[in-house]
């Protein structure tokens, strides 16, 4: 296992960007009960950890095909996309979830040209819906998406299947199984919690029912 993946997981846990609560789960917008809440924006407020994540993203870029432009998914993907574009001295654009209702009504903000190759940056991947939609909106403008890089993924089967169907490659700095291993090492969770957290990952819709 890549030690960098575990380091990122520890950062997310320590900064409480990831919170775990089996007994009092969180409720997603979809209504799904979840024992995990992830807000990677917390890392932006901590320079040391932010730099570690930024450099890890730079390294992760090497696992994708060559690209011309860095794109951020609004809103949480924009900060790290901005940092990455600066580190790589590449152009930056970002993708809205919906077109502006005024002005030029842009869906994609920034300067780009059809035919350019784009690496899309997201903060979190669950089922992949928003990331895939952003990638498809970029493709609709005549650009090529080489893949999606994200800070963290829940590694849900639905998400894996959605990316497979969309034929879009994604890679993350850390993920749910690695995070659980680190959480157990740090005594953030018990063995009993681990069993329940693994059950949720297998079937979020049926967890606790």
Sign of CA dihedral 189, 195, 201, 204: negative
Integer Cα distance of 199 and 14 in angstroms: 23
Integer Cα distance of 185 and 10 in angstroms: 10
Tokens 């380091």, residue located: 7
Q: Do the Cβ atoms of 81 and 34 come closer than 8 Å?
A: no
CATH code, 128: 3.40.50.2020
| Per-residue confidence in pLDDT tens, the chain, 209 aa | 478 999 999 999 999 999 999 999 999 877 889 999 999 999 999 999 999 999 999 999 999 999 999 999 999 999 999 999 999 999 999 999 776 555 566 899 999 999 999 999 999 999 999 999 999 999 999 999 999 999 999 999 999 999 999 999 999 999 999 999 999 999 999 999 999 999 999 999 999 76
Residue numbers of the domain that contains 9:
3-206
**How many other β-carbons are positioned within 10 Å of the β-carbon of residue 21?**
13
Question: Which secondary-structure segment (H or E) carries 54?
Answer: helix 47-61
119-147: pLDDT as tens digits: 999 999 999 999 999 999 999 999 999 99
* Three-state DSSP state, 72: strand
What is the total count of domains within the chain?
1
Residues 6+ apart with CB under 8 A from 59: 4
Alpha helices, DSSP H, located in 71-186: 78-88, 129-140, 157-166, 176-185
Residues 6+ apart with CB under 8 A from 170: 125, 128, 131, 147, 148, 149, 150, 153, 163
């Amino acid at each position: 296992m890549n030690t960098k993946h575990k380091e990122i997981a520890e950062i997310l846990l320590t900064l409480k960007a990831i919170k775990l609560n089996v007994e009092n789960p969180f409720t997603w917008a979809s209504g799904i009960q979840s024992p995990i809440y992830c807000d990677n924006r917390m890392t932006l407020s901590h320079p040391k950890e932010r730099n570690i994540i930024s450099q890890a993203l730079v390294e992760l870029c090497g696992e994708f095909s060559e690209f011309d432009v860095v794109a951020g998914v609004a809103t949480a993907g924009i900060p790290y996309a901005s940092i990455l574009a600066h580190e790589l001295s590449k152009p930056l654009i970002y993708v809205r979830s919906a077109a502006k209702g005024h002005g030029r009504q842009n869906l994609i903000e920034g300067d780009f040209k059809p035919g350019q190759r784009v690496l899309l940056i997201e903060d979190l991947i669950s089922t992949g819906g928003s990331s895939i939609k952003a990638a498809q909106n970029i493709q609709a403008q005549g650009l090529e998406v080489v893949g999606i890089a994200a800070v963290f993924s829940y590694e849900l089967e639905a998400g894996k299947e959605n990316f497979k169907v969309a034929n879009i490659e994604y890679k993350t700095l850390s993920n749910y199984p690695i995070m659980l291993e680190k959480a157990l090492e740090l005594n953030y969770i018990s063995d009993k919690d681990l069993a329940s957290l693994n059950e949720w990952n297998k079937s979020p819709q049926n967890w606790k029912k």
